[in-house]
């Protein structure tokens, strides 16, 4: 694993709870200085982004006509934030952004890349742009190197409710609430939220699901700690003041389930969270493929000395 010795360790997010499951936006006010997170996995994540953009660009980046201007605003906002928040690592002069962590220099005035494509090459976050189209907000441009079982090209051009159509009960329980929030989001009040899942792969780039619902016999109560991975998305939303578009960032953290082996309280809470999933959510998140093995492993880890 690539690490930079002068970068901080990744933050730990454990958003699961033993309380009964409830579908909710779960939004929290975001301090502007906390918008972007940079940690010791930065070299590894940026390297993977570069490889994906070079080899699978059409799967990682897409943009519709009319998205360039708000994407330019997003680029300028991000460049300003990075140089102000991390002045030891980023410097901007005469239209050029220098990334001292990678040794790269980027021409902010050129047209070698779409503005959002360029901006996403500086950070570990994926970037998605939502623009108003009538009464709905539509995904018009995005750079998504670390999708969690979804395809950018299938979501591009779709409004919020269509994007989240596979999410169990989204439309009836959350659809109108989310749409109203998007309409009312203020440029001076960015927000953030957390989302989590368990996957049977530790690969960050996962545009497709596991392809089945039956239990996977290769994942057992004995090896689930090594075969399964806890995946968290730290998502932020902020309105761009000039264009009115909304920039949505997704930062992905992945760790093996084995990390909870010596943390019985976390293992117990995670097992309770899985058991509290309604059947529809359980199926949507594909947990049936390995849930039996995961729960058995977590139950054993939840017992001190187990």
Residue 28 pLDDT greater than 70, yes or no: yes
In a domain, residue 4? The reply is no
In a domain, residue 102? The reply is yes
Provide the token pair at 203.
Answer: 């690969």
Residue 190 pLDDT greater than 90, yes or no: yes
In a domain, residue 217? The reply is yes
Average pLDDT over residues 68-75: 98
Q: Are 178 and 120 in contact (CB under 8 A)?
A: no
Average pLDDT over residues 299-306: 84
In a domain, residue 10? The reply is no
**The pLDDT value given to residue 211:** 58
Provide the token pair at 188.
Answer: 């001076």
3-state secondary structure of 25: coil
**The pLDDT value given to residue 23:** 86
Phi and psi at residue 303, to the nearest 5°: -95, 115
Q: What percent of the chain has pLDDT over 70?
A: 96
In a domain, residue 35? The reply is yes
User: Residue 281 sits in which domain range?
Assistant: 28-301
In a domain, residue 115? The reply is yes
Q: Are 250 and 126 in contact (CB under 8 A)?
A: yes
Average pLDDT over residues 35-49: 97
Place 212 in a pLDDT band, splitting at 50, 70 and 90.
low
Phi and psi at residue 149, to the nearest 5°: 65, 45
For 260-295, how does the pLDDT look when each residue is reduced to its tens digit (9 = 90+)? 999 999 999 999 999 998 888 877 787 888 889 999
In a domain, residue 18? The reply is no
In a domain, residue 57? The reply is yes
Q: What is the model's pTM?
A: 0.94
Count of structural domains within the chain: 1
- The helix (H) or strand (E) run that includes residue 144 is none
Q: Are 120 and 74 in contact (CB under 8 A)?
A: no
For 104-131, how does the pLDDT look when each residue is reduced to its tens digit (9 = 90+)? 999 998 888 999 999 999 999 999 999 9
Between β-strands 61-63 and 229-239, what pairing exists: parallel, antiparallel or unpaired?
unpaired
């Amino acid at each position: 694993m690539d690490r930079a010795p002068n970068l901080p360790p990744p933050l730990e997010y454990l958003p699961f709870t033993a309380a009964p499951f409830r579908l909710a936006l779960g939004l929290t006010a975001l301090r502007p200085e906390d918008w972007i997170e940079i940690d010791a996995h930065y070299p590894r994540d940026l390297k993977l982004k570069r490889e994906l953009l070079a080899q699978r660009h059409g799967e990682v980046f897409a943009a519709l006509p009319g998205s360039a201007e708000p994407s330019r605003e997003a680029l300028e906002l991000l460049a300003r934030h990075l140089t102000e928040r991390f002045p030891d690592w980023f410097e901007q002069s005469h239209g050029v952004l220098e990334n001292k962590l990678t040794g790269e220099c980027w021409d902010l005035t050129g047209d070698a890349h779409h503005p959002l494509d360029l901006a996403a090459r500086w950070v570990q976050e994926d970037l998605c742009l939502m623009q108003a189209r009538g009464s709905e907000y539509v995904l018009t441009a995005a750079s998504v190197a670390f999708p969690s079982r979804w395809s950018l090209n299938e979501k591009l051009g779709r409004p919020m409710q269509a994007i989240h159509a596979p999410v169990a009960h989204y439309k009836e329980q959350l659809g109108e609430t989310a749409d109203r929030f998007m309409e009312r989001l203020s440029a001076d009040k960015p927000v953030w939220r957390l989302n989590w899942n368990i996957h049977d792969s530790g690969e960050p780039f996962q545009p497709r699901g596991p392809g089945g619902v039956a239990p996977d016999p290769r994942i057992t109560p004995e090896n689930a700690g090594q075969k399964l991975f806890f995946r968290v998305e730290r998502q932020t939303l902020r309105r761009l003041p000039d264009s009115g578009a909304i920039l949505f960032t997704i930062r992905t953290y992945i760790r093996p389930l084995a990390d909870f082996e010596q943390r019985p309280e976390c293992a117990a809470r995670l097992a309770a969270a899985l058991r509290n999933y309604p059947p529809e959510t359980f199926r949507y998140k594909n947990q049936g493929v390995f849930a039996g093995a995961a729960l058995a492993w977590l139950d054993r880890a939840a017992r001190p000395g187990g």
